[in-house]
Structure 1
Amino acid sequence: MRIEHRIVVLGAGYTGMMCAIRLARRTRRGGAAITVVNPSDRFTERLRMHQVAAAQELAVHRIPDLLAGTGITFLRGRAVAIDPERREVAIDGSRSIAYDTLVYALGSSADTRAVPGADRHAYTLDDPRTAGRFATRLGELAATGGAVTVCGAGLTGVEAAAEIAESHPGLRVTLIGRHEPGAMMGAKGRAYLHRSLERLGVTLRVGAAITKVLPDAVELAGGESVPSDACLWTTGVRVSPLAAEAGIAVDEHGLIVVDATLRSRSHPEIHAIGDAAAVHQAWGRIHGTCQSGMPTAAHTADVIARQLRGKAGKPFRFGYVHQPVSLGRHDAVIQFTHADDTPRRWCLTGKRAVAYKEMVSGSPLKAYRLSKRVTVGMSLSKGGRATRKAA
């Protein structure tokens, strides 16, 4: 009787789903048994959580439905511990699953521990439930008017502030951040983003360090308080502690240290992808986005498939292409970039940018469906000549 190679994928976000579905196709002739482990059977479209926060109805996608026809087993449960010596994962404390190869795709969440009170008084966009609770709170405030603070002026914070201001024009929305919104963009794209936020009535507090989140205010360095009837926390990220607790080598941020093929340097039978991996290219370290995460997932699926055929995995190469930012449902800006994510001169704005952003947001689900039948190219750029050298 042929013994199948047991592959366990922890996490069914953008990267875990991509890796599992692609791997199922690459090993469809047998030899591998793939199991995906996730706490919920609902697939979370993280790229659209700001829409959920603004009480917009989105389609519900179930993970078993997305995996239908692939032969992948879905196990609903939360991974609570990894035993690399026994090659087992404890699920919810009472179950366990053995693996020969483990794909670690647990992603990241908002770091509400960094500032006192954020964990108790701020909402996040980590999943549909938390975003939905925030939407309910906004609905309550909209009836009488109120103040909403969005903490973190990165692209997630910008999208959330714009969406809230457009959906609830009676609310006073303040975007608070250490850095200028759109700081990573070129001058033209950044100016457009600022004009759009001004048009929507969003107040900017730039260069402000948040020191505490209270039930009715956000405190800034220097003692100033910004009134806040609802606070959304979008600044800082943290990753699952499971890898570090298991003795898997991680960096100072808790990300798994990987080699050029995205295998753990301390435990080669473990592959890390997306936000969970410390991925370096010659031009620098990749930061966690769907744009970079999906290619790491596809690459890892290919590496594992090659290994099962007795072949060596190839080095991962990647370069950024764009920074897509929605500014409500009717506006957007797309900043095109060099491979290292620094801005090019060209950006796209207005209705064409809206269509572009919608294409980007909807592309993962389309890629999953297509990947059941054909091998889909996931990297728009491999980073040019610089990434041909070892990082």
Structure 2
Amino acid sequence: MQHRIIVLGAGYTGAVVAGRLARRLSREDVAITLVNAEPDFVERVRLHQVATGQDLRPRPFREMFAGTGVELRLGTVTGLDADRGTVTVTGAGGAEELAYDTLVYALGSGWNAEGVPGTAEHAYDVAGRPGALRLRERLARLDAGQRVVVVGGGLTGLEAAAEIAEARPDLDVALAARGGLGDWLSPKGRAHVRKVLAGLGVTVHEHTAVTGVEADRIITDGEPIPAEVTVWTAGFAVHPIARATTLEVSGTGQIVVDGTMRSVSHPNVYAVGDAAMAMGPGGKPLRMSCASGIPTACQAADSIAARLTGGKLPNTSPRYFNQCVSLGRGNGLIQFVTADDRALPRVLTGRVAAVYKELICKSAAWGVANPMMGKPARRRRVTRPNAPAGPAAARARA
């Protein structure tokens, strides 16, 4: 019988896992199913561009995985029984229960309202394509001089504020940050961000805690800030499915994994990307990002392949090299960092940084869209079809 591998979610991490496993394992021995709610790959790191009216190249999964042996199942994950080894997928034809031998949980994250009143009713997000398209439609209807406030001073907030201000110089764009502007960056990095946002006409409200969102303003710990449109980028929250299972999760709802991205409570479950509580250099949790997600996806795929074929487990640890920030289409910041993500003095700025960031985005999308390209990998036969076994299987054998 074939070993059944189900991958939940086809963002950067899930798509990479599915393609990498298809290159490494014999189709005679494994059946790989990729479950996703949408038929196309979404370049999440470009959704601020989508929100400002830019069109991205479509990347249908059926074309990307044609000839790989990966089966695409369109639907929303509505249930997971980690003890029985089943997932429930609801699609156009209703709910269906799928059984797995190995599960890769890559459902990622969405926007986090952090319990702030009025956010769900009045704010917009760029954490997913539906949210970005909703914001795109709203921005298109704004008249000159109307006010847009981006809440959140992290990477997503900086990119969204700069992109909107550049695309719509007729709007009054502001950014509200809980701390100092770019306070995690090096002095050179902070100075460049401040200079670019000032040049784009973005008003920055630093050390401002947002306590409420209304239809025409945000409420802060100081004076209210007028806003016809509020864009919420203040944080991400993982998909809630894992927390409702018997999987061991962290306080944030992320699945706790070991160095091979394998669940510490259920050995037949792997978690990657934002969904995983994985440790990086210095024993620090990896931050939610594409920079963390793709290395964890490769780690999980290689670990699964090794365990099924009797190969050598990977022993590399994900680390960081830089943080890439787009500041509009012709400007950017590359902040070089230590392995554990602390800012170094060195940066790239301006047009060079914009080109660098664009190359990073294109290479990430190319790697997902061409899962069978690159150096050929000899597909190995599965020698341990029952591995990795889970708690339910272990009890059954006992």
Bin for the TM-score computed over the shorter chain: over 0.9
C-alpha separation in 2, matches of 1:182 and 1:69: 45
| 1:232 alignment counterpart | 231
| 2:57 alignment counterpart | 59
| 1:385 alignment counterpart | none
| 2:295 alignment counterpart | 295
| 1:98 alignment counterpart | 99
C-alpha separation in 1, matches of 2:28 and 2:347: 46
Instruction: Give, as a single letter, the amino acid of the residue that structure 2 aligns with 1:249.
Output: E
Once the two structures are superposed, residues 4-35 of structure 1 have per-residue CA deviations (whole angstroms, 9 ceiling, x without a partner) of 10000000000000010011000135311000
Once the two structures are superposed, residues 243-268 of structure 1 have per-residue CA deviations (whole angstroms, 9 ceiling, x without a partner) of 12111100110000111211001101
Aligned residues of 2:281 and 2:317 also touching (Cα < 8 A): no
Aligned partner (choices 20, 24, 30) of residue 32 of structure 1: 30
Once the two structures are superposed, residues 34-79 of structure 1 have per-residue CA deviations (whole angstroms, 9 ceiling, x without a partner) of 0000111121111100101111121121122211221100000001
Instruction: Give, as a single letter, the amino acid of the residue that structure 1 aligns with 2:51.
Output: A
Structure 1, unpaired ranges of 5+: 378-391
Aligned length: 373
| 1:117 alignment counterpart | 118
Aligned residues of 1:88 and 1:99 also touching (Cα < 8 A): yes
| 1:389 alignment counterpart | none
1:255-334 matches, within 5 Å, as 255-283=254-282, 284-311=284-311, 313-334=313-334
| 1:384 alignment counterpart | none
| 1:386 alignment counterpart | none
Structure 2, unpaired ranges of 5+: 378-398
| 2:160 alignment counterpart | 160
C-alpha separation in 1, matches of 2:50 and 2:348: 25
Aligned residues of 2:43 and 2:365 also touching (Cα < 8 A): no
C-alpha separation in 1, matches of 2:368 and 2:56: 18
Alpha carbon RMSD of aligned pairs, Å? 1.6
| 1:22 alignment counterpart | 20
1:1-391 matches, within 5 Å, as 3-28=1-26, 30-92=28-90, 94-141=95-142, 143-222=143-222, 224-283=223-282, 284-311=284-311, 313-374=313-374
C-alpha separation in 2, matches of 1:5 and 1:375: 25
Once the two structures are superposed, residues 203-225 of structure 1 have per-residue CA deviations (whole angstroms, 9 ceiling, x without a partner) of 00011110000011000014x21
TM-score, scaled to structure 1: 0.92
Instruction: Give, as a single letter, the amino acid of the residue that structure 2 aligns with 1:131.
Output: A
Percent of residue pairs bearing the same amino acid type: 42
Aligned residues of 1:8 and 1:35 also touching (Cα < 8 A): yes
Cα offset, 1:371, TM superposition: 3.9
| Range 6-15 or range 275-284, more displaced | 275-284
C-alpha separation in 2, matches of 1:192 and 1:261: 38
Aligned residues of 1:243 and 1:256 also touching (Cα < 8 A): yes
TM-score, scaled to structure 2: 0.91
Instruction: Give, as a single letter, the amino acid of the residue that structure 2 aligns with 1:270.
Output: V
C-alpha separation in 1, matches of 2:232 and 2:73: 31
Distance verdict in 2 for CA 1:302–1:210, change over 3 Å? same
Distance verdict in 2 for CA 1:131–1:282, change over 3 Å? closer
